[in-house]
Structure 1
Amino acid sequence: MRRTRFTLSLCAAGALAIAAFAAPSRAAEDAVVIPPPAMDVQASDGLQTAVIAGGCFWGVQGVFQHTAGVTSAVSGYSGGSKATADYNLVSTGSTGHAEAVQIKYDPKKISYGRILQIFFSVVHDPTQLNRQGPDTGTQYRSAIFTANDEQKKVAEAYIAQLNAAKVYKKPIVTKVGPLEAFYPAEAYHQDYLTLHPNQPYIAYNDIPKVEALKKIFAENYIEKPTLVGNAKVTN
């Protein structure tokens, strides 16, 4: 049996109940139209990797699986050890892990900067500290795990740019740090948005994010998702 997200706060349980019976059409975090980054990672040959965290990985993965130029988006864990890269342990909030998504992308089709723009615009609210929508805890923190110095410079510069422009009513709390490792999550977490589009949590919190991607980033949107089942998961 596939697990649903019942390790939520009482507030989240209430949100799910409302989603199930009232069928609201808005996401827990509204999309925000933001400017592109002033600087970007230079395009190079071969696939590149970006690892980001912005709340429950179901929605993060779902958005990037509908993003052109992304060859795979895998739900998993970053920030802690291999020994604790387990959903039940990560859900305690004591492992150091964040629910993260590893994105493999073709830099000739989409840039690292555009991935960050989508991340900050439609994927999550980067001003929420150690939570996202109904989910609370350090495992739901906003974070960018950088693979190299160039990614670090671009991510930090973009956060400073958005804060200076006062795009959000509150400062961005997204943490930028080096990618030590990425551990793929359990199989039942992969492709969750596609497999369970009518599940109340997904319908309320995550489907609107994909709809926002289609509306705000139409040139980057693809209708057919790139699923993990068709991709090779690599560490």
Structure 2
Amino acid sequence: MILDEIINELRFALKGKKITNSCIGVAFTASLLSDGSLGISHTILDGENSMSGEIMGKEAEEVVEKLTSNPLERSVALSVLNAVSVLPTFERGDPLDIMEGNKLCLFGYSPTVETNKFSSIIIYDFRNPETQNLGKVIVKPYSSLTSEICNTAVIFASALVAGYTESILKRISVDHLILSGVSSVYAPSTLRSYGFEYVSKVETFDKFRAFRTVCEGGSGRQLAKYTYKIYTKL
């Protein structure tokens, strides 16, 4: 599985680091590591955290290896992997800022982007809403995905938390593939092997307030006050 391969690639970055604090909020999960780094991921309230009450002080490597069996556990694991995912070089902004084409495909939990450089946008929403035709934007339930041809596709990293990534990749044909969103990780060898061309990541400029926002039930809009977007080409 792609998550197992990501963990293996980031194993060296995990070694020697411990979890100093971890918090599962209603929208996001955050983990602080002993080197001062902060990682954030989406919270998916599905399953049980088998290490509940035991995470603080544990080795980061042990936590990500044990917490992969359900979406709630992966919420924690991805927050730790996000913390050690350091982009060596990056641009500020979003890779969609430099892309254009006919069809843009998005995969995530009610994902949104700001771009007018594509003729059509199709959204496969993990929340499985009714199909909506909004002009050049069509929203479909993720459960309806059978196959799709896209010029550019953005898979939001909540797919890693939910366990949908491989299923999406098997069903799409795409020229340019982007991993994006709060839960994103930087594991270049693994991601390149699955066809990803860009990684977009959310960084915090105020770790304390970002962590407290997550733990106190903050929304994406509230968390955005303490974050900014960066991206790199793999």
Which structure has more relative contact order (CA 8 Å, sep 6+)? It is 1
Asked whether the two chains share a fold, i.e. TM above 0.5, the reply is no
The TM-score with structure 2 as length reference comes to: 0.25
The structure with more strand, counted as a fraction of residues:
2
The TM-score with structure 1 as length reference comes to: 0.25
